[in-house]
Amino acid sequence: METGVGTCREALQRAVASADIFALFSTAFSWPDDGLAQAVLDGSFDGDLQACLDELGCPLGTATGVQDVLEPGMAPEALLAALRREYSRLFLMPGTSALIFPYEAAFRHVAAGRPGIPALFIAPATKDVERRMRAFGALPATARREPVDSVSCELDFVHLLYTNLANALNQGNEGSAANLAHEIGEFRSKHVDAWIPDLMRSVIAETKSLFYKRLAEIALLALTLTSKGDE
């Protein structure tokens, strides 16, 4: 009996930590805002990462977070401006001045070496992501003007799924928890794990920012840790 209780408690802790870390990376790979810059500078971003990774069994350790790579004494407005410049260089205006498509269907189109311009909005992968999000009432408010298979939207959706899983586990609803675990496994297999690790490796290879390089390195670690035990 104690083993079962311990297993359930561990599953709940992992679900909560997974939800939190996906929320962190969804924010970090969105258009940078004042909140992100401030959280990075005051150490709360690294503190949250540390807490999540501790729960997932792999401490971040000291002097290995994103704050550690910043220039000492950097002001929030200076960091925000630097992050926005690099985010724009990496992800905006794909196919012209940017380097990396931040959308699943487009990124996988290019990665597979397929000819032509990648389709946005109407690609099968995008439509499947949209269908799954709609089923959970989680379609982003920006869905009409930006494809829902962006890295930030997909990570945010996984955050929602893990949050729902944590709630089901906390309430002892085994049927709902099993269904949610299955949905997480499917969504990760068909979408997140099929391209986001490669996107992070592309960021590591292409970025001129130590912040985004370190962020992508930790994201790769987090994706590996949270995949353990997923169905």
User: Residue 92 domain-assigned?
Assistant: yes
Q: What are phi and psi of 22, to 5 degrees?
A: -70, -35
> According to the model, what pLDDT value does residue 229 have?
56
User: Residue 199 domain-assigned?
Assistant: yes
Structural domain that includes position 40: 2-61+77-227
What's the distance, CA 55 to chain centroid? 17
The predicted model scores a pTM of: 0.92
User: Residue 35 domain-assigned?
Assistant: yes
> According to the model, what pLDDT value does residue 194 have?
97
User: Residue 201 domain-assigned?
Assistant: yes
Domain count, the chain: 1
Q: Can you name the residues that pair with 103 across neighbouring β-strands?
A: 150
Averages of pLDDT over each 10 residues, the chain, 231 residues: 60 96 98 97 95 86 78 94 96 73 94 84 94 96 92 98 97 96 97 98 97 96 84 45
Q: What are phi and psi of 59, to 5 degrees?
A: -55, 140
> According to the model, what pLDDT value does residue 230 have?
57
User: Residue 89 domain-assigned?
Assistant: yes
> According to the model, what pLDDT value does residue 180 have?
97
Q: Are 165 and 180 in contact (CB under 8 A)?
A: yes
Q: Can you name the residues that pair with 150 across neighbouring β-strands?
A: 103
Query: Can you tell me the distance from the alpha carbon of 206 to that of 108, in angstroms, rounded to the nearest whole number?
Result: 17
User: Residue 68 domain-assigned?
Assistant: no
CATH number for 179: 1.10.3480.10
User: Residue 71 domain-assigned?
Assistant: no
Query: Can you tell me the distance from the alpha carbon of 75 to that of 101, in angstroms, rounded to the nearest whole number?
Result: 30
